[in-house]
Every structure is written in C-alpha cells, then in structure tokens.
Amino acid sequence: MDLVVVGLGYVGLPLAAHASAAGLTVVGVDTDAAVVDALRAGRSPVPGVDTSALTPDQFVATTGFGAVAAAEAVVICVPTGLVDGEPDLRAVIAAGRAVGEHLRPGTLVVLESTSYPGTTEDVLLPLLQARGLVGGVDFHLAFSPERIDPGNAEFGLRNTPKVVSGLTPLCAKRCAAFYEQFVDTVVPAAGLREAETAKLLENTYRLVNIALVNELAVFCERLGVDVADVLRCAATKPFGFQAFRPGPGVGGHCIPVDPRYLADRARSEGLPCSLVDAAHQVNAGMPGHVARRVRDALAGRPVAGARVLLIGVTYKPDVADLRQTPAVSVVRRLRAMGAEVAYHDPHAPAFAVDGEPVRAEPDAGAPADLVVLLQDHAVLDLPALARGPRPVLDTRGVLTGDHVHHL
C-alpha cells in the first residue's frame, strides 16, 4: 500500500483523491462509520469534494488501522479544534496511538493537522515510538501543513505550494519526495517547528487584517464614510497593501481557531499575544454590530416582531460549510431582540441555532421587512436584491441602490 490517510474530512479526502489520481494505492481511515459507508457507496461525505478519482482499484475506505502495517506513507489529517477556548489535540493523540500500534520500519509518517509549534516532536513522536521504533532512525517523521481552501476554483492541492519539514534532513527529503508525486511545488522549511509556526502565521495574518477592516467599517459607519469606497481606493496602491473585506464576523475551521493555538503557545512561554486577542475581540463583536445596523435599517420600526431574512449563512462564499459561521451569532442576537428570522441559502438546505431550526425560504424574494446579505454566493441574483422595494443591509459591500444599507 502506497498511502494511508487518517481522517477523511476537508483535508484528508482531497489528499486521498489527488494521490489516487496520481496512481498511488490509498487506504482511507476514518473512525466515523458514516463517512466510510458513504465512500463505499460512491458518495462524497464532504460537500464540494470530488471523489471520482477514488476508484475501487485504487482506494479503500475503512474504520480500522491495520493497513498502516503495509503502508509506505501515513498522513494524519484529523481535526484540531478548541475546547473552552483551549487547543484540543485529542484526535491527534488518538490517531498517533493507533498508527503507532501498527507502524513498521521504513514508513513515512506526516502530520498535516494544524497545531502549535512542538506538537509533531513533543506529542506525536512519543506515541509513534511506543513500541520501540525510533523516529528519524527506524521511521521518518514529518510535518506538512494543510492549505485546503474550500470553494477556491483557482488554487487546489496540486497548484498550491506545499511546505514540508522533517525530524531529520532525511525525513524532510522523504516527505518532499512523497508530495512531489502529486503537488507541483514543494517548499522545504528549516524544521518541524518552523513549518508548524508558518501555518499559524498564515491564518493569524488573515484574522488580524480582517479585524482591521471590520473595525474600520464600524468607524466609517459612525462618521458617515463609505468604507467600500475607502477600500476600493486603497486597493489601487500597487505595493504595500493587500485588500481585505469587512463582514459579519469570521468562520470556518481555520481563522477562528488556528490563531488561538499561537496565542496559547505564546502564553505558555510567558509571552503576550495581545494583537491576536484584540483581533478576536473585534471579529467576535461584528454580529452585534450587524444587529445594531438591522435596528437602524428598520428606520424606527421595532425589531421585535420584524421579519428579517438572512441571505447566505455559510461561513464563506460558494461553499456548503457551516462550521463556525458568524450567521449563528447573528441569529442569536436577532432572536434576542425579538425578530422573526428566516434564511435563504442554496448551499445550506438546513440551518439550526442552539437546536432550534431557522426557517428556510426557497426564494430570496420571500416576504420580509428587512433583508440581510451575510454571504454573497455566486448563485445569488444580487442585483435583484438591490432593486427590490425592501430595505437591504449589505454586510459584504457588494450592493448599491436606494434601499441598500452598508455595514
């Protein structure tokens, strides 16, 4: 067996598909039997991920780890989230133990799960060595951060540069040679911790810059300044500026989560991480700002009893992913103010907040006292929203019209 992929979610499933398409024989392992059953039935358990390359002669899905004993390479792609705001490595630890029980000499083990610097060497390595094998001697250990961007039609796994690193220089070379089979560009890092930190920097950079433009949007609204035009003008500068857009908050598995791993590691070393903390506070406050702007856009009509239609509730455009979506906090705020909340999103056939379903409307033109554009999916007829008689609160800065209010 060429490859065992542990964790068949948004990261592991595309990896398995690309490796299989490149001619590698792949076993996909997931402890969720529903995921395995879907793949065995020829269905993708992850919305938007094409699994057509996972043919029966190239790919097998299972809940067991026995195939590790025959694998040339094992890549761990399990989720790393938060519990009470603290890093949660339980999935990495469980995967490491299971892989370690079956690991044989000569195998390459790669961790792709995002975590704080030191995770690969201090957490994963001891688990893999539990049966007496020595990392860097008997097997190769590496870290290569995932860079999956759901819904991105331009950059996928093949044409996104892949950062690689290893416990030893030979481990790093083995890791690079593995990914070069189906990735166009491989970028060696100086070491495991450099690669781990690079991943955290990428998403912390986005968190901080999104917070900056969100705070700017609140500032501009107070002063009567058109923030969309400010950003349009600033973006014409050909150097020293990268455009970010304000919005109702941040979502997904990366931006709300990964910077907390950086901050937690900094605090464990007695170092401040005040910029990251401030950015989280700004972004967490945006749903509240949206609720205040809803009140303003109703122009004197009480929010209590008002029919508010949310357009687009996934965390980013053109994906069916509701993880950490700021729409949840927006709904909570509006419900607390007494609004009757419904939503329209072709990518989200069902949406619930705190166990209570939000009524789905099949048409963006459904009756409402106010429409709130949270996500500008390409499938939506955005000009029609702006032309209608209903007031529209545009949190994305993409609409113009007499009835349009901006964030």
Positions marked catalytic? 254
Hey, which bits of 189-323 come out as E strands? Answer: 307-311
Exposed e or buried b for every residue in 369-382, given b needs 16+ CB within 10 A? bbbbbbbbbeebeb
Exposed e or buried b for every residue in 167-187, given b needs 16+ CB within 10 A? beeebbebbbebbeebbeebe
Neighbours of 294 (CB within 10 A): 23
d(CA 216, CA 247): 11
d(CA 209, CA 281): 13
Which residues are CB-contacts of 338 (< 8 A; sequence separation ≥ 6)? 302, 303, 304, 305, 306
d(CA 243, CA 233): 10
